[in-house]
Amino acid sequence: MNDTLLAEVAADVLAPVTPQDADGHLPEVWATIAELGWPLVSIPENSGGSGGCLADLLALVGAVAEHGVSAPLAEAALARWALAGTERADLPGLVVPAWEDSTGALRGVAWARHARNLLVWPRNGTPYLVDLTAPGVLVEPGANLAAEPRDTVTVPDDARTPLPEAPARSAATSRAALLTAAAITGAARGAHEITRTHVTRRNQFGRPLIAVKAVANALAGMRTELVSTQAALDRACDVHTADPARAEAATATVKIRAAHAATSVARSAHQLHGAMGVTREHSLHHVTRKLWAWRDEHGSEREWSSRLGRTAVIVGQDGVWDELTAPA
């Protein structure tokens, strides 16, 4: 789909929505998002998808986040991508992904309480499906810093249906990190826009805040975060589209960048809002709480940097350079 058209569609859907904290709930707009087939964007129409490319999906994920809405778009899209091409592609209802941790437990599962099915990747072995309505399945509610559902799920052995055709765990986590980076980029854009509006409209000491040089510079600093994160996101999207198997470095790059941007943008946004930004009534927290929550999900910057550093030493400078400059 063409970029402008996509942006217009997203704006039509999201503009009337008043951002609200998730507080465990699905937002009303979710029904529209699902009906419009956004979770199926980037999956070819002949595989039951909505068509479009990965960049379209990332743009939609970003738009939802920019608007301060909490919705399981990235999660649903990831699960649908993994199911496409398997015999369970037409599984009804909301399907979300889950990753077993080192103890085999399913913790921090996004939106599990609202889902019909889980698609689970164990650390080793075959991915499996879980019907969340099956007897013995337990969903214990939890939340991230943005009050979005991050639940703990207990699954009896006999409630697992293996799905060997699903993509490998590494491919799924890589795509999850990319989608998270897109969401962070969107939320950061939202935080910048709210802040820009605030400092240009609010007068203090007899002039708009932006007339204070330190304020203008801090706002410009936020912009450098946006411009650079978007460039990294575009590059990672291109590499994922061309060859997901060699997307690790590009994924690490954008996740690290986005996590740094999240910290810095949220900090500046609150600083430039003064005391106003910390209140529940102010809309700023709808985006900044997401930034704080998402920067650590699917690998913090330290975790990805460590992997990238280790690989760099192994492949040497030629390897690093080839990776960075490989045609996408």
Partner 1 sequence: MTDRTELRHRVRDLCRGWQDEGRYRPRPDAWLRSFDLDFSRELARRGWIGMTWPRHLGGAEQSNVDRLVVTEELLRAGAPVAAHWIGDRQIGPSILRHGTPELQREILPGISSGDHVLCLGMSEPEAGSDLAAVRTTAERTDGGWRVNGRKIWTSHAHRATHSYLLARTERTERKHDGLTEFVVDMDSRGVTVTPIVDMAGSHHFNEVVFEDVFVPAGRVIGVAGQGWRQVTEQLAHERGGPERVLSTYPVLAGLLDATAELDAGLLVELGELVARLGVLRAMCVRVAEALDTGVAPVREAATLKYLGTEFERDVLEFARTAANPGVLAPDDPLGGAILAAPGFSIRGGSSEVLLSILAKQEAP
State in angstroms the smallest separation of the CB of 81 from partner 1. 24
| Using rule CB under 8 A, residue 249 touches partner 1 | yes
| Using rule CB under 8 A, residue 170 touches partner 1 | no
Q: Is the dihedral of CA 299, 303, 306, 310 positive or negative?
A: negative
State in angstroms the smallest separation of the CB of 58 from partner 1. 15
Binding piece for partner 1, criterion CB under 8 A, among 24-32, 66-74, 247-255, 287-295: 247-255
Specify the residue, 76 or 284, whose C-beta has the smaller distance to partner 1. Answer: 284
Specify the residue, 192 or 270, whose C-beta has the smaller distance to partner 1. Answer: 192
Q: b vs e for 201-229, b when ≥16 Cβ sit within 10 Å of the residue's Cβ?
A: eeeeeeebbbeeeebeebbeebeebbeeb
DSSP 18: P
Rg (CA), the chain: 20
Specify the residue, 175 or 255, whose C-beta has the smaller distance to partner 1. Answer: 255
| Using rule CB under 8 A, residue 246 touches partner 1 | no
| Using rule CB under 8 A, residue 228 touches partner 1 | yes
Q: b vs e for 54-84, b when ≥16 Cβ sit within 10 Å of the residue's Cβ?
A: bbbbbbbbbbbbbbbbbbbbbbbbbbbbbbb
> Residues 284 to 323: which contact partner 1 by CB under 8 A?
301-302, 304-310, 312-313, 316-317, 320-321
Specify the residue, 153 or 272, whose C-beta has the smaller distance to partner 1. Answer: 272
Q: Which two tokens stand for residue 291?
A: 């930034």
State the Cα–Cα distance between residues 256 and 31, nearest whole angstrom.
32
What end-to-end distance do the CA atoms of the chain give, in Å?
A: 20
Q: In this structure, are residues 121 and 127 in contact, taking their beta carbons and an 8 Å threshold?
A: yes
What is the contact surface with partner 1 in residues (CB under 8 A)? 196, 200, 210, 213, 216-217, 219-221, 223-224, 227-229, 231-232, 234-235, 249-250, 252-254, 256-257, 301-302, 304-310, 312-313, 316-317, 320-321, 324-325, 327
